[in-house]
Amino acid sequence: MGGVIHKTVSMLVWADIDEGIADVVRYLQTIPNVRTFVSCQGTIGEGGPEPYRAYVGCIAESEAAKARLRTEFDVDPPGDYGPDILYVHPRRE
């Protein structure tokens, strides 16, 4: 069963973002052809049984956007989500 594909428009939407990753999300949203869809400030330094790094899930809609993300951030290897979905982490100091 085929569906109707509707045209879309980009718009800014308010979302609650973890304070420790908000500046990164804000910056990523200024990069052309990059859209964020999930983020977490991580738990490193907070203890717990499974600490993990802060991350932001992005949709990179062009090769230039993917290249820029790989230059400015630590990027996870491609997963099962598709070639345009990247999970990025602030660079380790």
Q: Is residue 20 part of a domain?
A: yes
Does the pLDDT at position 12 exceed 60? Answer: yes
Q: Is residue 86 part of a domain?
A: no
Q: How many domains does the chain have?
A: 1
Domain that holds residue 37: 16-45+63-71
What pTM does this model have? Answer: 0.81
> Distance between CA atoms of 80 and 13, rounded to whole angstroms?
27
CA terminus-to-terminus distance, the chain: 50
- Residues of the chain with pLDDT > 70, as a percent, come to 95
Q: Is residue 6 part of a domain?
A: no
Give the side-chain half-sphere CA count within 13 A for 40.
Answer: 7
Q: Is residue 40 part of a domain?
A: yes
Q: What are phi and psi of 38, to 5 degrees?
A: -160, 150
Averaged over 63-67, what is the pLDDT? 95
Q: How far is CA 14 from CA 19, 26, 31, 37, 73, in A?
A: 14, 11, 18, 12, 24
Q: Is residue 78 part of a domain?
A: no
pLDDT of res. 67? 95
Does the pLDDT at position 1 exceed 60? Answer: no
Q: Is residue 34 part of a domain?
A: yes
Among 74, 88, 92, which Cα is nearest to 35's? 88
